[in-house]
Structure 1
Amino acid sequence: MSQRATRLLHLLEALGGRRRPVAGARLAEDLGVSLRTLYRDIATLREQGADILGDPGVGYLLRPGFLLPPLNFSEDELEALALGARWVTRQPDRALAQAAERAMTRIGATLPASTRLSIETSGLLVPTPSQTPPDAPWLPTLRLGIRLEHVLRMHYADGQGQATQRLIWPFAMAFMEGLGMLAAWCELRRDFRHFRADRVIALADTGERYPSRRHVLIKRWRAATGYGLDS
């Protein structure tokens, strides 16, 4: 681990768990760095996504939800992350693909130059899909619906091309080459249903939370169908 990466990790640890802002001078003293170095490190962490509140003379507070995972990763773990990110960039969800690219850029920024070069040129490649996945601009809505446990209004075409409007409780999405599959509770059928991604015409978030929890639906779904998609 580089000296700079170690210093950033120590700064995160110093900020973590605090409920009130801590003065920059105090942080610099605790970490054994100059105030100028501290300000530069805080700016670096902010660029990498750390939600650090505060300014010089006011104090600093790290809002929950930010970790800097690559600092303690082995090269095997970093290669696995890079390979997974490359696979995500080949999926039709452009927002998710761009998030994967940003995540790997942030991870790379914390690594020593030699390690970063090794990961970027590892030779572990993701094959190009045999067919171009259909455009699916509704995927971010689906992912948010799954995350927030929201009821979605779906415009869907069956195998004969007949379109229907449905209210669904989405809880899982499987990404497979050439075909994605959505698992949800369908209010129309009053049962679990699987929907092919290439037959979804549109999705809209109703903003309403469905009357169950996602993990409960997944448990019921597995018991009812025998499926065991990794979650």
Structure 2
Amino acid sequence: MRRADRLFLIIHALRGRRTALPARDVAATLGVSLRTIYRDVADLQRSGVPIEGEAGVGYVLRKGSDIPPLMFTAEELEALVAGTRFVQAFAGQRLSRSADAALLKIQAVLPEALRERSERSRVFAPDFGQHASLKAHFDSVHAAIVAQQVLAICYADESGQVSRREVEPLALSFWGGAWTFGGWCRLRQGFRSFRLDRISDCQVPGETFADTPERGFKAYWKAIGAD
């Protein structure tokens, strides 16, 4: 049995229960070891699935957390699957794990026919390791954008000229062949875009910045003609 199917069945077994379900019962039903069930439940909990309980006692979904089947069309589900596969291939590890966890939660409450249809999607975004440089520093830049932290980067321009910059990062963009992040460059005193694969060093000194009308996200968006 595939792990995705096993995780779905664990959640399905817990839905609607008023009493804790012993892990040994789940293990016997699925034909796996207790250790596997403990590990699977821990992974589901880390993904945000509201499972309460512990080994040796049993598990139950938190009261009031059960949700009805989501009303997606087959095409909408395939779009979600394709988007998740794209993120897994081209984005950073944190966003990839989050996309995978989100899809897991959606599939856990879908009718069986729609769940099976979503898993049969033939839209792929192969990685095979060739996108490593493309998405280098993605997690660091993404985290800095969310936390509004200044980045100190070592950056090479098109001619190979290297310079050190302090940048207030505002947004990540994917252009098909490269990721860039845009922000306020303190060296140039203006908005600039930086390709992630041209950054040789990326540090977060710990300084935060404010999203101001003059050099915040809306001003950057307008400056690049995307207003």
Same fold (TM over 0.5): yes
- Verify the 8 A CA contact 1:92 1:134 in the aligned structure 2: no
Partner of 1:133: 131
Show the counterpart of 2:189: 190
Matches within 5 A, 1:1-231: 8=15, 34-36=18-20, 46=45, 48-50=47-49, 71-75=69-73, 76-91=75-90, 93-123=92-122, 125-126=123-124, 128=126, 132-135=130-133, 136-212=135-211, 217-228=216-227
Identity of aligned residues (%): 27
- The CA deviation string for residues 105-139 of structure 1, in whole angstroms up to 9 with x for no partner, is 3432333332211101133x13558x943524421
Normalising by structure 1, report the TM-score.
Answer: 0.65
Q: Which moved more, 1:72-81 or 1:167-176?
A: 72-81
**Cα 1:191/1:202, change in 2 over 3 Å:** same
Distance 1:83 1:214 in 2: 36
* Per-residue deviation, residues 32-58 of structure 1 (Å, max 9, x unmatched): x53336x99xx79736514678889xx
User: Aligned pair in 2 of structure 1 residues 139, 69: CA closer, same or farther (>3 Å)?
Assistant: farther
Q: Is the 8 A contact 2:184 2:215 kept in 1?
A: no
Describe the superposition over 1:165-216 as per-residue Cα deviations: whole angstroms up to 9, x where unpaired.
1110111111122111211100111110011222111211122211325997
CA 1:61–1:34 in 2, change beyond 3 Å: closer, same or farther? Answer: closer
Between the aligned partners of 1:226 and 1:155, the Cα distance in structure 2 is 27
Could you tell me how far apart the structure 2 residues matched to 1:210 and 1:199 are? 24
Instruction: Provide closer, same or farther for how the CA distance between residues 83 and 68 of structure 1 changes in structure 2, counting only shifts above 3 A.
Output: farther
Cα distance, 1:89–1:47 mapped onto 2, change above 3 Å = closer
Count of aligned residue pairs for this structure pair: 190
Name the amino acid aligned to 2:19.
L
Whole-angstrom CA distance in 2 between matches of 1:152 and 1:144: 10
Structure 1 residues 117 and 222, CA gap change in structure 2 (3 angstroms): same
RMSD over equivalenced CA pairs, Å: 3.8
